[in-house]
Structure 1
């Protein structure tokens, strides 16, 4: 019997590969002669590059960059043998980098993300996969683009400072010095949110509170700057409020689509494609997946939901192991059997 173990991480408890080993250890006691295939998965957020490193190999590159508050840090990204780089924006502008008291999207910058991209381009990357998620920023890619050569000016032609608050003073931009290798590079952005850049479902309104927008008394700034009128051309402005995923990572999604011609894809779909997940599922007699909590988001591009859909097409049975189940109707769990570990359940029920 061929058993494919392909879980997501259990947030704040176990990385995906650790979950794989734990599941294999348990199942081996019952099915010692089974042929186990470990395929840790991710949905484009934190941990995506580690998963792809396990599946595809490659080498890690450490780079000295700037964090959201422009402090020097060491970040890393993955270089794959086929001239592909995998970059997680959270490495340079993650919400975990500033303390809770330091979080302030008015000044937080994505400059470090641009530094990682620039380094990957100099390493010869022709394809860059970017995982959007977990950012502490809301600058619509302002800092990232600065690091890659674009200059932003106010009405007096002075250069803008870092952070989303500076966008309120934006009068014009000059992209003549944008990194020359960008035009020859394919950018694929792995993203699991569909929020537009602006409006009630936009980057600031939906994700702003966790980045301390309200605490920083920035409501007037939100109303002014996230329209980004000087930032986009007249044609783009017609779609900016409906452009799917433009609001990802505080507007980084929109910047990448606009200046890199990036293709935004489901994070799970991106990882599944690179890891040849469909083929592995088709070859398996049983698939075991899971995540820390099965909830309403499971069926919206998360690992367990995506795997169940692929397995359904090949009629492969699926077991989902989780720490807790919240708000799922029976019809939403009918595509797989749900198992909740009783041992150390408190570690997973978060």
Structure 2
């Protein structure tokens, strides 16, 4: 029997790598000799770079960048081959970098994410995948673009620094200084949201509140974003509101698409392509996946959905070991997941479940594999 383990991390407790270790140990305890293999997986958010680098046996490259408030941060990107690189916005412009009391999308910038991309371009990479989940920003990607040499000018010709409060001041976008390496590279953006740049479903009103935006701040940002959109329409003949995902990451999706011509793809689908998941399914008898909590959202660009769909197309059964179940969790069965087992083994508080996550996961894995072993004895 050949088993493949491909689980998401359990946020704040168990990493994707740890699930592989625990599942491997449990499988050998229950089945004795069996062939096991595992691959770290992420869905395009925080942790994507590390997961892909480990799966591809690549290399982490560390770069000092500016964080969301222009503080010095230690960022990173992943080298996958001589031509391929992967990076994530969360490593330079992520919301955890901003203390709760300082969260205000008027003041944050994507400049550091642009610095990460420039570092990869300077190193000669031509195929670059960019994960844009978990942003602290709502600057329309102005900071990101500025780090690559694009200038945003106000009506007096002054150069803007590139943060949310300056969206309303944009009068002209000067592309002449854009890093020439951009023209020779291909960019794949891991993006699972389809929100436009502006409007009630746009970047500001959909995601701004969680980044510290009050109603007054959001109104100011939305007016600025509309101005930014109108300048782009005037100078590029492109309406960002007609581009699916242009509002992702506080409008960074717009900058990537309009200024760099990037290709937008599902985060989990991009990750599975990068780690050559279909090839790893060859001769596999069973896939084990999972995540911290499974509910209706798991069907929209999450690890379990991606792993399940790919495995189903190859005719490989999939079971999931998850921390807990929420509303409409059973919808995931439509995506190749044949059964789900939870790690919790009795009534307990969330704190107890988190504090004992590793032990619970291992015991849950043993129970799961014992069920499978019993099922193998059942006569059809």
- Which category of TM-score, normalised to the shorter sequence, fits these structures? over 0.9
| Shift of residue 284, structure 1, vs aligned partner | 0.8
Q: How does 1:192-341 map to 2 (within 5 A)?
A: 192-214=192-214, 217-227=216-226, 228-234=228-234, 239-328=239-328, 330-333=330-333, 335-341=337-343
TM-score in terms of structure 1 length = 0.94
Deviations 1:80-123 (A, max 9, x none): 22311111111111101110011111010111111111111111
Deviations 1:66-92 (A, max 9, x none): 001111111111112231111111111
| Shift of residue 26, structure 1, vs aligned partner | 1.8
Partner of 2:125: 125
Deviations 1:35-61 (A, max 9, x none): 001111111111111111111122221
| Shift of residue 229, structure 1, vs aligned partner | 3.2
- The alpha-carbon distance between structure 1 residues 152 and 236, as it changes in their structure 2 partners (threshold 3 A), is closer
Q: How does 1:105-184 map to 2 (within 5 A)?
A: 105-184=105-184
Structure with a larger share of its residues in helix = 2
Deviations 1:191-214 (A, max 9, x none): 122222111111111111110111
Larger radius of gyration: 2
Structure 1 Cα separation of the partners of residues 195 and 112 of structure 2 = 23
Structure 2 Cα separation of the partners of residues 330 and 132 of structure 1 = 28
| 2:143 partner SS | helix
Deviations 1:276-319 (A, max 9, x none): 11222242100000000111111111110111112222221111
Query: Do structure 1's residue 73 and structure 2's residue 73 form an aligned pair?
Result: yes
Structure 1 Cα separation of the partners of residues 2 and 105 of structure 2 = 48
Partner of 1:19: 19
* CA RMSD between the two structures: 1.9
Structure 2 Cα separation of the partners of residues 277 and 91 of structure 1 = 25
The answer to whether the 8 Å contact 2:232/2:238 transfers is: no
Structure 1 Cα separation of the partners of residues 137 and 200 of structure 2 = 18
| Shift of residue 345, structure 1, vs aligned partner | 3.2
The worse-fitting range, judged by mean Cα deviation, of 323-332 and 127-136 is: 323-332
The answer to whether the 8 Å contact 2:143/2:163 transfers is: yes
Q: How many residues are aligned here?
A: 348
Structure 2 Cα separation of the partners of residues 304 and 229 of structure 1 = 36
